[in-house]
Amino acid sequence: MASGRMEFHARTIMQHANFSFVLPNDVEMEEVHEKKHYDREPVNLILLHGLTGTDTDWLYGGNAQWMAIQYNANIFMPTTGNSFYLDKGYEGGNFAQFVGEELPEYISRTFGIEMKRENTLVGGLSMGGYGTLHTALTYPERFSACIALSSAIHLKSIVSDLKKGADAVTPIGMTRDIFGDPDRLLDSEKNPAFLYKKLKEKAADIPKIYMACGTEDALIDANRDFRDFLESESADYIYEEGPGVHNWEFWNEYLDRGLKAVLG
């Protein structure tokens, strides 16, 4: 297995961007439980961190190396700050474009890995769970599936906080900078439900969605609401929940379950 950390100049966010990677290119088969995953070419997974996180979170808190071995997955983990993986609309502040376009293109050039839609996934936790859904539905031509864990998809609460001018998980000024006008948020491309409806109207290929959240997680109601939305749209999705809070014990278990679900 090859692993490491790289830095490159990303024009979309106009900074030197770090990402960590794990490549299962010399795995001993004795380590692998389901050898069927080595009967195909490796899949590619871009794995997103949560609020205040970095590219190393899934290595040190999570089980990215083990998942790479078990599922024959090239895993790439970028750092994007507390951006919620959204575009600000100008070069230097386009974090969705960074994750959905520039990073996969850089990986392809640097590692010689073909990031085809059919073999490329995106996943993440919390803020990265929201970013996972947003990225997959913004760039459906690049991702065949997504794995969104404990997703910070509580947009109705964010609208309420913005209208009250109230600090929440993030200070109100930061929330306003990220999400903008609360009267426009739910009917904007920052809302994964809005993006989903647009894709459905165009009869576009929509990535398969896997979601999971712990039943003791403060975000459970927001995740259930999005599950209900997907059900009402007859979406291709899998939703799971189980005992757990907002922590690595839950995310490690359900990344494994999510990969099983989308890869078979």
**Chain segment 56-98, per-residue pLDDT in tens:** 999 999 999 999 999 999 999 999 999 999 999 999 999 999 9
Distance CA 250, CA 150 (A): 9
**Chain segment 108-124, per-residue pLDDT in tens:** 999 999 999 999 999 99
pLDDT at residue 30 greater than cutoff 90? no
Q: What would the two tokens of residue 56 be?
A: 């190393």
**Chain segment 164-208, per-residue pLDDT in tens:** 998 999 999 999 999 999 999 999 999 999 999 999 999 999 999
User: 122: domain range?
Assistant: 2-263
Taking the complete model, does pTM exceed 0.95, yes or no? Answer: yes
CA-only gyration radius of the chain, Å = 17
Distance CA 118, CA 109 (A): 18
The residues facing 73 across adjacent strands are 43
In the chain, how many domains are there? 1
Give the burial class of 77: count Cβ atoms within 10 A of its Cβ; 0-12 exposed, 13-18 middle, 19 or more buried: buried
CATH number at residue 140: 3.40.50.1820
Q: What would the two tokens of residue 41 be?
A: 């070419």
CA distances, 18 to each of 27, 120, 159 (Å): 25, 20, 32
Q: Label the pairing between strands 15-23 and 2-10.
A: antiparallel
**pLDDT value, residue 166:** 86
